Homo-oligomer: A and B are copies of this chain.
Amino acid sequence: MREALIEATAGVATPALVVDGAAMERNIAAAAGFFAGTKAKLRPHFKAHKCTELMRHQIAAGSTVGVTCATAWEAEVLAASGFEDVLVANQVADPRALGWLVNAARHARITVCVDDVRHLELLDATGERFDVLVEINVGQDRSGLEPGSGLLPTLAATRGNLRFRGLQGYEGHAVLKADREERAGHVAAAAGILSNERSRLEDAGIAVELVSGGGTGTYDLAAEAGVLDEVQAGSYVLMDASYATLGLPFEQALFCRSTVVSRQGDRVVLDAGLKALSREYGLPQAEGIAFTSLADEHATGTTDLDLKVGDVVLLVPAHVDPTVNLHPALTVVAEDGSTERWPVDGRR
């Protein structure tokens, strides 16, 4: 299969991201099939690939309730591209970013996360109508109110043009834990926290319509824990070397086409470095090559393979999200070997 991908993309300059279209479609179908059988639905996360064409394939497969994104810029791109229900799974406070949210809200239903009264003031001051989720810290220790915070009812009160919809909790500390039981433990703890916070609000007479969270590493555990209404998985569609260690039912669909630019003894140098591959989560992988370093424009490793200057190697990125963000487009190879160029149009 990898030889076929190399052949089909022979005209594409390296370094370049190449998608195995059939594997991508199988990943999409597997996720849609799973969420067809659960109460929680899928809200695919745009941040993983920032490609509206790919997102259209995900939505077309069904079992979804809208899309997730990480930034106001992404929300504007998604809304302008016709996606009608967009969740910004983070807080927004920059004036220009708030302006992008306003633009997005003219085309789509926009829901934004908050964890401070100031977020509500900033959103309301735009004069635009937004839905909000209050983010709860379920153990990741980044954004989000601490469980039991006295501020929760204040943030969940209706204010001006803003409508409270519910809660978000993202167990980012769990999604890449190697042991499934450990992931399950974190998911259960997060579900317990979100369930308590929901009860506190309902006891105070505040309706909670929606609880959102989850990720690729916990997609089934989070859905089955019974508290979430929607799961924000993104990496499942392309996968990477990190998620590949978790035994998920998704295939590697993203590769970086690279060229051997130097070979001296058993040392091989490829033309894909930090400007083509994130080294967050580690070095890229390729069968038969032991990579030792990633510099700005080069991956260096040792190999016994008969690789010569000009030969092509497909690399598996260690971390999909920041890797896709380094490229202007994906070259998608269909099963018949035909290719399409899909812009990474959510990249700034």
Q: Which residues of A contact B (CB under 8 A)?
A: 11-14, 47, 70-71, 73, 90-97, 100, 115-116, 118-119, 122, 137, 141-146, 172, 259-264, 267, 269, 271, 274-275, 278-280, 293, 295-298, 300, 308-310, 321-322, 325-328, 348
Contacts and interface: CB of A to CB of B under 8 A. Distances in A.
A296 B275 contact: no
Given A14-B96, A296-B321, 7 more contacts: A90-B261, A90-B297, A94-B259, A142-B267, A142-B300, A143-B298, A296-B322
B300 A122 contact: no
Residue of A261, A308, A321, A322 contacting most chain B CB atoms (<10 Å): A261
Given A280-B274, A295-B172, A96 B12 contact: yes
Contacts of A262: 91, 115-116, 142-144
Given A274-B322, A348-B328, A260 B309 contact: no
A322 B275 CA distance: 6
Contact of A264 (B90, B97, B146, B271): B146
A94 B271 contact: yes
Contacts of A264: 115, 137, 143-146
Given A261-B90, A297-B70, A308-B118, A325 B322 contact: no
Contacts of A95: 11
Given A71-B297, A142-B298, A296-B321, A260 B14 contact: no
B94 A13 contact: yes
A6 to B, nearest CB: 12
Contacts of A92: 261
A328 B94 CA distance: 18
Contacts of A97: 13-14, 259, 271
A264 B298 CA distance: 40
A275 B325 contact: yes
A279 B279 CA distance: 9
7 A-B pairs closest in CB distance? A13-B96, A143-B262, A118-B309, A94-B259, A91-B261, A93-B310, A14-B94
